[in-house]
Structure 1
C-alpha cells in the first residue's frame, strides 16, 4: 500500500495580516466549498478591507474541511476562518459532512506568510465612525468602538464591502444612494469600479426622483455607443485596480501638464564614456533611470513643496524623498516600485536599487513594502519610443514626471561668436501636477530645474 497519499494533517487556517493598519476584514466570497480539494496557490477566499479587496491563496495542497465564517462575516486578523487538511500527495476529495475530530491530534499554525498580489491603494482616510443625522444616514463602516456599522448593511439590507463603504463615506454617499447604483459584482454585489464609474458619471442617482415627475438637473445620456464586435478579454485583477486608481486620480485631482526640452548631449556622452568602467567597478549596469532619479531628487530639495500630498485642506510636505519608478510588467500591467530616501544615496546605490527592483518586477517578486511609501513618481515613456507623455498622477502624490525618448536633432546653438547648427541629443520632459497644491510657477520652475541638472 502506498502511504504517501494517506499522510495528512489538519490545520487551523487563520486570516492573514493584510497591512500595517488593518485589524479586521470581511469575508466576501469563498472560492472553495467544504469537502472540496485544492492545490497550493489556489485562491481559497476573497477578503475585503477598507483599503483593498484581497485574494488569499492556499499555502499548500489539501482539502477544506470546515468554514468557521461565512460570506459577509467580519473577522479579526489572526482569527481561525477555516480548518484545512494538508495532504502530502495529490489533492484528495472528501464529503461535505466530514468534520475534524475533537480528540484528534491537530497541528495548528499561524500561517501568516501569504503572498498577496500587487495592488494599488485607492484611499486610506481616517474614519470618525459617526453617521449623518436625519433620514439619509451617511455610510460609516466602523463605529468608535471598532464594531461594524450594521455589519455593512444599508437600510434595504444590501451588503457592502468595507472598501465600498469607505469610498462612499469619503464622497458622502448615503446607503439610499448606494442602493440606486448599478452593481456588476457576483450576487449583485456593488464593486468599487461600479461606485467610481457612478461618481465619474456625475452621480445621476444622487437624489431620488418621483416616478411621475419629469427628470430635473443633469441626467447621464444613454448614448448606446457601438462598441463593435471582437474577442472579449476579461480584465485581470491588477488591471481593474489600475483602472480604478487612474479614474480616481483624474476625478479628485485637477491635472495640468507642463513641458520643457532638455539638451542631453553632455549626459549621453558622459554615460557612453563611463558605463563600461562603472559596470566593471560596481557590477551594475548604468541606465538613464538612476541619473533621472538623481536630478529629480536635487530639484525636489530645491522645491520641497512638489514632494507633498493633500489631506483635506492641509498640504503635507513630506520629510523623506521616496521616488517611484513606473515599471511595465510582462503581462502589460504597470507597477511602481519605490526607492526610499534617494537624497541619502549616491549614483552607485541608486543604480543597484533600480536594477534590483526592475528585475523583481519582471519576475513578479516585489514585496508590498517595495511598492508603497512613494512621494514622487517618474515614468520613462521614452523606453517605448514615445516622444513625450501626459502621465496621470500617482495618488496621493502632487506630481509625476514623464521622460521621453532621447533623440538626435539639428539644433541652433547660441555662441558668442555667432549661432551654429549642431547635432544634439534632445529629450522632452513633461510634468503633470495637482493644481490644488501646485501652481504653474512652482511646477514650471521645478521642471526647468530638473532639465538644468540633466544638462549640467
Structure 2
C-alpha cells in the first residue's frame, strides 16, 4: 500500500495551530478507523484526532510538544485491510442507537479469561468523581451515548499513559457486559464490604425487553447513579381548580375545539412557580450550574405498550391556556399513535409525571437527566379534612391531591425544593382567573 500524509485537521474556526500532547499509536503499530491516533492541545481545548481509516502508522513527523499548523503533515500512514489488523487489537466502535442500550457481544477466549480475574461487582471501590480524574471529550461523549456515569467510568481499568482512560478501554468494558454497572461505591475507612450475594431469579416465561424499555431502564439507572435523589411532599386542596374546570370545560371546548384536562392547568401553575424559583429550572455541568433562560415542560405520557415517553411543551411560560391545551392534546395523541418526532421529545428543563392517572396516591419519580427536579402529581381523592374558620373548625369533604418533588441535592437544597413545591400547591389551590 502507498503511504499517505496524515495532516493536522481543522479543529475550529479560529484555531490555526496546535501542540502535540501525546501519540497514542507508535510507529509500526496498526489502528482501526475511528481509533484516536494523537492528542492535540489548542488555546481553546484539547482534542483527540481519530484515524480516518484502518491502517498502520509508518512514521511520526511531529514529536511530542512540537507546535504544528493546521494542514501540516504530522505523520505518514498507510491504509490496510481490516482483516490484516491483529485480532487482539480489534475493538468494537459502534455507537448505540438512540432507542436502545448496548448489548454484550460474544467474547474471545482470551477476553473470557481476563474477565474472570477482574474484581467482582460486590467488591469495595473507592468513591471517585470527575473532579479528581481527567476524561477526554471523546471518552465523555461515549459515556454519554451509553449512559455511563462518572462513578462507573472511574471503575473501568485504564491502559493509557498516566492512568488515562482510552476509547478502547471503554469499548472493551462495554463488550464485557459492563461488570461494574451496578457496583456500589463504599468508603474504605468504613470497613463495610458489599456481600457477594447470589439471587435465585426463579423460573418462568422469559420476555425480552423491547428497545424502548431497555432505553428507559438504562436512563433510570444512569439518573440514580448521577444524582443524589431527595423527595419532598405536600398536599393541595384542589376544590377551586376542580370546580373551575367543571364549570368551564364545556365552554372551553366549544370556543377552542380543545378538551380541557388537568394537565395544561398543572403546566401553567408549575411554570408560574418556576418563574418564582428559577434555580429549579437548571442543570449541572461540572462545577457550574446552568440556570435555563427558557422553560420547557416535559410531560410523562403512558404508551399502549406500557412504556413511558416524555413529549415536551416548549417555551411554556409564553403560552396561553388555550395553546397549552392544544399542544398537550396533540402531543398525547401523537405519543399514543407512535407519531412523535425526536424534536418533540427533546429539550425539557422540568418534567411533570401525573401518577394519579394510574390511580396512585403519590409517587417518588426519578429525575429526567440532566434536569434538577421532577414533579409527580397524585390522584385527586375526596377526603375528610379539618377546615379552620373564624367561628371554629369544621370537617368537610374536599378533593385533595399529594404532590411529590424529587430533586438533585447537589444543586437544590431542602429549603429551595420545599418552598418551590409549596408554591406549586398554592397555585393549584387558587381559582384560575381565565373565563369563557
Distance of 1:224 and 1:326 partners within structure 2: 35
Give the equivalent residue in structure 2 for 1:190.
174
- Does the alignment pair 1:455 with 2:429? yes
Choose the corresponding residue for 2:92, options 151, 159, 181: 159
Matches of residues 73-84 of structure 1 in structure 2 within 5 Å? none
Residue 339 of structure 2 corresponds to: 365
Deviation at 1:158, TM superposition (A): 3.4
Task: Tell me the distance in 2 between the aligned counterparts of 1:160 and 1:202.
Answer: 28
* CA–CA distance in structure 2, aligned partners of residues 182 and 378 of structure 1: 34
The 5 A counterparts of 1:84-233 are 130=39, 143-145=47-49, 147=51, 157-162=90-95, 165=139, 166-167=142-143, 171-172=153-154, 173-176=156-159, 190=174, 194-195=177-178, 198-202=180-184, 221-233=195-207
SS of residue in 2 equivalent to 1:201: coil
* Cα distance in 2 for residues equivalent to 1:191 and 1:424: 56
Give the equivalent residue in structure 2 for 1:425: 399
Partner of 2:268: 294
Cα deviation for residue 224 of structure 1 reads: 1.7
Paired residue secondary structure (1:369): helix
Structure 2: gaps (5+ residues): 1-31, 41-45, 56-84, 97-101, 103-138, 160-164, 431-436
Query: Residue 249 of structure 1: CA displacement?
Result: 0.2
Partner Cα distance (1:130, 1:449) in 2: 50
Alpha-carbon separation, structure 2, partners of 1:319 and 1:237: 33
Change (3 A) 1:442 1:329: same
Paired with 1:323 and 1:198, the residues of 2 have a C-alpha distance of 34
**Does residue 1:392 correspond to 2:392, yes or no?**
no
Give structure 1 regions of 4+ aligned residues with deviation exceeding 2 angstroms: 72-75, 142-151, 153-165, 168-183, 188-192, 217-222
Number of aligned pairs? 305
Unaligned runs of 5+ in 1: 1-71, 76-126, 132-141, 205-216
Distance 1:262 1:149 in 2: 61
Are 1:160 and 1:189, in contact at CA under 8 Å, matched by a contact in 2?
Answer: no
CA distance in 2, matches of 1:298, 1:357: 22
Deviation of 1:425 after TM superposition, in Å, equals 0.3
TM-score of the two chains, using structure 1 as the length reference: 0.61
Structure-2 residue corresponding to 1:442? 416
When residues 421 and 226 of structure 1 are mapped into structure 2, their CA distance, relative to the original with a 3 A threshold, is same
> Is the CA contact 1:400–1:431 (under 8 Å) kept in the aligned structure 2?
yes
Q: Which of residues 268, 275, 289 in structure 2 aligns to 1:315?
A: 289
Alpha-carbon spacing, 1:143–1:219, altered in 2? closer, same or farther (3 Å): farther
- Larger fraction in helix: 2
8 Å contact kept, 1:310–1:316: yes
- C-alpha displacement of 1:159: 2.6
Q: 1:169 to 1:343 in 2, by over 3 A?
A: closer
Give a deviation string over 1:347-377, Cα, whole Å, max 9, x none.
0000000000000000000001000000000
**Among 409, 417, 422, the residue aligned to 2:383:** 409
